[in-house]
Structures are given as structure tokens and as C-alpha cells.
């Protein structure tokens, strides 16, 4: 079964993750996270499947995150507000975002990939 791979091709971490997944014989459905970001509904589904804190879905080191002053906003925002913010711009999301419809990983840590996708 193919993995859905939300990524930003200029991102070095995304390229490493893609290479790792391909070397482990995964078929990828590649989606450019900026050109075609996941919808609010899709993000909500991925968030619940992941078991992670929603704040983990934010690219906290990104320029856009800092420009919008989200560090303080995300502390008090509701789940609904956070999903709206994330869905508004693919550059706000931590990447890559990988799912098979049952499991989800956010970002690239080789150990985590080996556990979920190995």
C-alpha cells in the first residue's frame, strides 16, 4: 500500500525522509505541502490518528511561524483554531507528513520511521 507523503521538495529533511522511504521499497503518493496543503478535515483526521499533541504539527522553526507570532497564540488557541491556522498555509506545517491511513509520522526521525514504516 502506498504512503501519502506531504512534503516540500526544497526541504532537506523531506528529501532525506523520501530517500529513506524509497530505500525501504515504499511507494509514495507525493503531495507538495505548499501547493496542496491538507484540508482542515484531513489535518483533523491525521492529528487524531497520530496520537500526538497538535502543537507537534507546527513548523516552529519556520519563518512564517515567527512572522505570525504563533508561539504565544498556540498556547491558548482551541483545537479548531489551531487546525484553521495549520490549514491556512502549508509552510506552517512540520514536514514531511506521512500516512498510510492508519498511522502518521510528522517530521523525520530515522528511529521513528524504522518503527512505523520499516
**Percent of the chain having pLDDT more than 90?**
98
What the block records as the C-alpha cell of 103 is 498511522
pLDDT digits (tens, 9 = 90+) for 76-114: 999 999 999 999 999 999 999 999 999 999 999 999 999
Q: What is the CATH number of the domain that holds 12?
A: 3.40.30.10
pLDDT digits (tens, 9 = 90+) for 10-31: 999 999 999 999 999 999 999 9
How far is the C-alpha of 115 from the C-alpha of 59, rounded, in Å?
23
Q: How far is CA 82 from CA 15, 65, 77, 88, in A?
A: 27, 12, 6, 10
pLDDT digits (tens, 9 = 90+) for 44-81: 999 999 999 999 999 999 999 999 999 999 999 999 99
Give Cα 82 distance to the centre of its chain. Answer: 14
pTM of the model: 0.93
Name the domain count of the chain.
1
Domain that holds residue 22: 3-117
H helical segments located in 57-108? 63-67, 70-76, 79-88
pLDDT for res 1: 79
Nearest residue to 116 via CA among 51, 61, 30, 60:
51
Amino acid at each position: 500500500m502506498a504512503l501519502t507523503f506531504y512534503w516540500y521538495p526544497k526541504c532537506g529533511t523531506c528529501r532525506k525522509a523520501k530517500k529513506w522511504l524509497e530505500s525501504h521499497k515504499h511507494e509514495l503518493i507525493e503531495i507538495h505541502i505548499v501547493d496542496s496543503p491538507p484540508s482542515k478535515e484531513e489535518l483533523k483526521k491525521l492529528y487524531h490518528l497520530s496520537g500526538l499533541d497538535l502543537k507537534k504539527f507546527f513548523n516552529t522553526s519556520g519563518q512564517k511561524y515567527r512572522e505570525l507570532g504563533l508561539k504565544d497564540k498556540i498556547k491558548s488557541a482551541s483545537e479548531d483554531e489551531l487546525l484553521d491556522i495549520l490549514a491556512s498555509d502549508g509552510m506552517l506545517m512540520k514536514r514531511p507528513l506521512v500516512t498510510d491511513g492508519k498511522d502518521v509520522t510528522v517530521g523525520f526521525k530515522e528511529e521513528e520511521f524504522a518503527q512505523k514504516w520499516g
